[in-house]
Chains A and B, each alone.
Chain A
Amino acid sequence: MRAFTTLHGLVAPLDRANVDTDAIIPKQFLKSIKRTGFGPNLFDEWRYLDPWEPGVDNAKRRPNPDFVLNQPRYQGAEILLARQNFGCGSSREHAPWALADYGFRALIAPSFADIFYNNCTKNGLLPIVLSEEQVDQLFRETEATEGYRLYIDLPAQTVTTPSSEVFRFEIDEFRKHCLVNGLDEIGLTLEHADAIRAYEERRRQEAPWLFEA
């Protein structure tokens, strides 16, 4: 996993509540058996005026000029600013894969759906929860200032605005540790293989029907 320590990135504002993972990456793109290549189809149905067809060259499709990510000022954005309950719905990890493949490295919202939040942290994508008021302020500042950037410091758990205002955010120690060091969680868990085996032995006595065939 790509490590995340600090980021000074351009912010793009997506001013919608309850953005679901079907919107982030529609179902027609879930047929891939790879983890990469989803970026050109991120927010596909909002982003393009013409519908996607199998085999189409995304570069030749008509972008919807009203969609925020198509505006020239937000090209190269690495931080997505969003509203409450971002990432709700389907558990598809293709959603964070698409966001990361597009170039986003951090997301800021007042709340995220649980499964989506989890999936982000497994893919080097940092979801940051700030208060409604702080997010409102960032929306106002982002929209008012072209080239608006935020500085994110994961070890310090802070977001700093261009006017040096500092917002602190919370994240679990374990997730932070994995993100900062780009660690493979499976490898860490397998260090506890003996504990898993001991659990299974104990459980087999208590609930033997769970270990039939």
Chain B
Amino acid sequence: MPLVTKPNLPRTDDFYAALLAAHEGLTEAETHALNARLILVLANHVGDLDTLTEAIDVARGTPAAAADDPTKT
């Protein structure tokens, strides 16, 4: 299951707003903790190690070439 790096999320603005709302009023430590839990929840949902390591690479900004490969969807 290759990582999807093209736009894939309908109602992007709604998601972004929900994310910000979830962090509303949190201290920096609480924000970090929430993000960590969110990552674990989403990782379990993805359920595929290759996809997740690809996502980690994209997030780190390392081998962007693979993620931008036009042959990959």
A and B assemble together:
no
